Chains A and B, each alone.
Chain A
């Protein structure tokens, strides 16, 4: 299976309120990320927009419905659709989440948590291998935000994720907001999380805002908080330059506001780069 080369740059999630900017202007970005499922359609405007944006920008496909942790296996129809989209768009890479979304009968349309057990590890590795074979490329797997840990857990999330990467050859999409949220919810150290991952396999970093509380929730509806910016600096000092982007899915502000926020990421990346060089 091919490897995924490093790609350092700054991007945003492509969202409907900003389509006209991307179609009519030269937006100063290195890449855009799209939700794969929104474009896994037969035709019409979504694909026309994506084709046009692809003429100007690198595109990453980011999925939410692969359900690699599903004990009932992966959906071949879904994989066929995803491969068709990938053949059309030629994304730099395809990513999804360390989660499951469906049982044999129903789909939750949510990123549900896995127990970190040997059985779940076997299941997700088998599914990822099937998906990678079908898509003819390695995937990037993202750490999720989670709101409960299972009593039967046999390892930490970072140990589980590291083992998935080792067994399947997949790469990692490190969401530092999700690390921050889950660290708060499950009372672990974000530094321990980063130290436990094979950071040389990280190809992309996600940033987002969350709703704080007794249980912090990954809402993608506000600006990135200071704790997440700090974690970005720590992560980049260890991963080296990789693709960095901001996700905003609700209360979407004007594009200019997100581009300003992305400048903060650029400054933090530059500082991390100087620290590594020193």
Chain B
């Protein structure tokens, strides 16, 4: 058997108790192999616990470890970095906890924060930068305005007060309150980004979240305003749009005006 075939067999058996070990192995080799098998599972589950500490608190240790094991069997790690082992875990828990959508929302936030934490360093566009970049803009240029957002910025719709949930699942966790948190009466948006060296998040209006999602996908300011108009009517949308752009700039979400 070639070295490549041996290595494939060795690694597949790490992932499954049912995978066969080489017939030539004696008890001694089998005992040694168990050390690697146990270490593989323990290390990867520990990596997910480190990435998703609040999700783990919310669902409880036993349920979290079962979910982590399920994720690792479904999506065995392929990347050289252990940080990637938790990629897609929010979708896994969405499937595993269909009646508790806050679990997937929280996992999404924790993953987005880990991603933002080590994203490329950039200087966000500030207010004076925006003024300078748009000084010569006429109506048409404003309508066609497109933004480039800072690396790591992520947005999604959520049905729970994730700020409160985050707080309740901190170091002095109030698990009972966290698990009893009712859903919001209306969905909101959640935005994750890096502020200096710290990853953080905030909640925003659902229409603003849809607008932000669209502009991240390269929609024009005019198209973004259409989303707001549909959500809140023209009069309110136009004043909201200006304040919204100022807020994005103040929060450090915008990296540049698209050329």
Q: Which residues of A contact B (CB under 8 A)?
A: 37, 40-48, 65, 67, 70-72, 75, 77-78, 100-110, 112, 115, 117, 119-120, 123, 146-152, 185, 214-215, 217
User: Of the candidates A44, A123, A149, A217, which one forms a contact with B119 in the assembled complex, judged by CB atoms under 8 Å apart?
Assistant: A44
The count of residues in chain B whose C-beta lies closer than 8 Å to any C-beta of chain A is 44
Once the chains bind, are B43 and A109 in contact (CB under 8 Å)? yes
Closest partner residue, chain B, to A77 (CB atom): B80
The number of A-B residue pairs with CB atoms under 8 Å apart is 123
The 5 closest A-B pairs by CB, nearest first: A148-B32, A41-B118, A43-B121, A71-B4, A147-B32
Closest partner residue, chain A, to B22 (CB atom): A151
Q: Which residues of B contact A (CB under 8 A)?
A: 2-4, 6-8, 10-12, 14-15, 24-26, 28-29, 31-33, 35-36, 39-40, 43-44, 47, 76-82, 85, 116-121, 151, 194, 197-198
Once the chains bind, are B40 and A42 in contact (CB under 8 Å)? no
Once the chains bind, are B4 and A104 in contact (CB under 8 Å)? yes
Excluding A45-B198, A106-B78, A107-B78, 20 further A-B contacts by CB distance (< 8 Å) are A42-B119, A43-B119, A43-B120, A44-B119, A44-B121, A65-B81, A67-B80, A71-B2, A71-B7, A77-B80, A102-B80, A103-B7, A104-B8, A105-B8, A108-B40, A109-B85, A148-B28, A148-B33, A215-B35, A217-B35
A107 to B119, CA, bound (A): 23
Once the chains bind, are B36 and A109 in contact (CB under 8 Å)? no
User: Of the candidates B7, B15, B44, B197, which one forms a contact with A44 in the assembled complex, judged by CB atoms under 8 Å apart?
Assistant: B197
Residue among A44, A71, A147 having the largest count of chain B Cβ atoms under 10 Å: A44
User: What residues on B are CB-neighbors of A41 within 8 Å?
Assistant: 118
User: What residues on B are CB-neighbors of A40 within 8 Å?
Assistant: 81
A125 to B240, CA, bound (A): 64
A47 to B82, CA, bound (A): 17
User: What residues on B are CB-neighbors of A78 within 8 Å?
Assistant: 80
